[in-house]
Chain A
Amino acid sequence: MVKETILQIENLKKYFKARSGLFGSESKIMIKALDGVSFSVEKGNTLGVVGETGSGKSTLGRTIIRLYDPTDGKIIYKGRDYSKVHEGDLKSFRKSVQMIFQDPYASLDPRLTVQEIIAEPMEIHNLYTPTERREKAKYFLKVVGLNEEHAGRYPHEFSGGQRQRIGLARALAVEPEFIIADEPVSALDVSIQAQIINTFEDLQEEFNLSYLFISHDLAMVKHISDRIMVMYLGRVMEVASSKDIYKHPLHPYTQALISAVPIPDPTVEKSREKIILEGDISSNINIPSGCRFRIRCKYTMDICKKVEPQLEEIETGHSVACHLYKK
């Protein structure tokens, strides 16, 4: 069964100008947060994006939803390129593509009641009458597993997990097709994370949603995603199905990343061989020439210094950007 592609990203770049120099004048230092990222997401699927600090995964989410304007590249959603569309014309895009943010304590306006928060997107897009909006807000509260009676309360009266649910309800209020979740459970306790993730999965089934799930928690990403994309310093290192990423990681970075994830099983965890990467993550300002991972890589070859490897499909559905693998 061939699923249709709902989102296609081509060579997306986002550079930020770093302020430096004597009097804060703008200099030519660029922070290359996204440096040419390409991938696609199929309708009804979840693509997980993993990476560490500086990988660009958060910037990716925000650039796709046009909170940042891309420096280059294409954002093709349902066949139309939204990368250069003027801010004022993005309304229909923003109705169909929604975002869930990381910090449940900062992503809800503390001055508004829960009711108003969930109704706001409906108001912005001129959907329904005010009475209908109130009813719909209560409906979505129920959908995310909260009590309808709490609609008149303020965000600070809720726990972190409950606030994330309110954020979910707000995103669902305009019946989007695509949701970008940027570290949606990282700030929550373990048992609450499980609740929210289950809700995510249920909603995906009920409303046929597509997700871009961004997180640094590899175990959680693997659990919820169909395919996983590994990013490092603004580029994609490897893309594969969740199973393959774990069973046959090809890129040395992916191997190290997976090895670094602790397993909640002392017999396994204490006995297995771990790949420990020496050194720290390079910065986005001084990106190494050639392959940006070569400084921490133990398989570095001569070519790695000179030529930046491109993402190539090595096995079906499994692509890698590494000179160790040639088609």
Chain B
Amino acid sequence: MKEDELFTPVTSEELEIKEYIRPGVGYWADAWRRLKKNKLAVVGLVMIILILALAIFGPIFSPYEYDQTELTNVYGKITLKHPFGTDELGRDVLTRVLYGARISLAVGFVASFINLIIGVFYGGISGFAGGRLDEIMMRIVDVIYGVPILLIVILLMVVLQPGLKNVFIALGIGYWVGMARIVRGQVLSLKEQEFTLAARALGASRWRTLVRHLIPNSIGPIVVTATLLIPNAIFFESFLSFIGLGVSAPMASWGVLASDGSRAFQSHPNLLFFPAIFISVTMLSFNFLGDGLRDALDPRLRK
């Protein structure tokens, strides 16, 4: 077409004005992209998936049971058949460690979950209510913070007697305060945002505003805090079990294994070494992931 012919007006059909909208990058997609860039966080995530896989499938594929004794092979050396050696009753350490993973991880997740629920609602209500109620609730939190939880937990376990159920109770006592503070902070700042005011102006009840608007918008910090609660829970369960106040034999969490292993540490370090490695790696992985998530989910860093 010669250029001169192009000077004809365009008809309105040809000029289809579509009010276009930018397909934006979602919150989670953007967070995932940012998380991927953080190498430590990715390593942590991979390790967690690995350990989870081992925990779930390991004991199934193992040729041994966790409580299968082999009295002819007590304190066995590291061999192909027993990659981690055997313990004082000839039980395969690898299998026991993988089985222990199930327990420790379960404790970690469940305890974390319990604390999450308590913390989110406590902090949410406190922040949303404001005023005197908020003050009272936060003073309680301050008191709990001030008391050394570990001592309380130990005392509690002495009273309640060791056992998995009681471990959950003990861990549910004090670790929710961190989550409560975080959620309260989020709610306090979101409370003044216009979409919260809009919800009230529409006639939403306060409960609805809290549960449908404020808490979902605090998901970022909640996820981060929950992720960081898990290694805490795992550690404390391990510690309790180590000092004999957690789960008891024959249920073998990593703490129990470490406890048993510590007795023969001088001569057979592998019995302490392997459970300890797993505890450390798991805790580190969750911490890396949690830190990475904190940066990835921070809305201010959104590009």
List residues of A whose CB falls within 8 A of some B CB. Answer: 62, 65, 67, 88, 90-91, 94-95, 98-99, 101-103, 106-111, 120-121, 124-125, 146-147, 150, 153-154, 156-159, 162, 167, 170, 174
Contact = CB atoms under 8 A, between A and B. Distances in A.
Contact of B21 (A94, A106, A121, A162): A162
Contacts of A158: 21
B217 interface: yes
B265 interface: no
Contacts of A174: 202-203
Nearest to A122: B202
A124 B204 contact: yes
Interface stretch (B23-31, B36-44, B167-175): B23-31
Given A102-B194, A106-B194, A147-B19, A154 B24 contact: yes
A158 B198 CA distance: 18
Of A88, A121, A150, the most chain B CB neighbours within 10 A belong to A121
A162 B200 contact: no
Q: For chain B, which range describes its interface: under 10, 10 to 19, 20 to 34, or 35 or more residues?
A: 20 to 34
A103 B197 CA distance: 12
22 contacts: A65-B201, A95-B203, A98-B202, A99-B201, A102-B194, A106-B193, A106-B194, A107-B195, A107-B198, A108-B198, A110-B27, A110-B217, A111-B216, A120-B199, A146-B19, A147-B18, A154-B24, A156-B24, A157-B22, A162-B21, A170-B198, A174-B203
B217 A109 contact: yes
B165 interface: no
A109 B23 CA distance: 18
B200 A170 contact: no
B263 interface: no
B139 interface: no
A120 B200 CA distance: 11
B189 to A, nearest CB: 11
A263 B198 CA distance: 34
A159 B193 contact: no
Contacts of B208: 124
Contacts of B203: 90-91, 94-95, 121, 124-125, 174
Q: Which 7 A-B pairs have the closest CB atoms?
A: A94-B203, A107-B194, A157-B24, A106-B194, A101-B194, A121-B202, A99-B201
B34 interface: no
Of B21, B24, B201, B216, the most chain A CB neighbours within 10 A belong to B201
B213 interface: yes
B21 A150 contact: yes
Given A106-B195, A107-B194, A120-B204, 17 more contacts: A65-B201, A91-B203, A95-B203, A98-B201, A98-B202, A101-B197, A107-B195, A108-B198, A109-B195, A111-B213, A111-B219, A120-B202, A124-B208, A125-B203, A159-B21, A159-B22, A162-B21
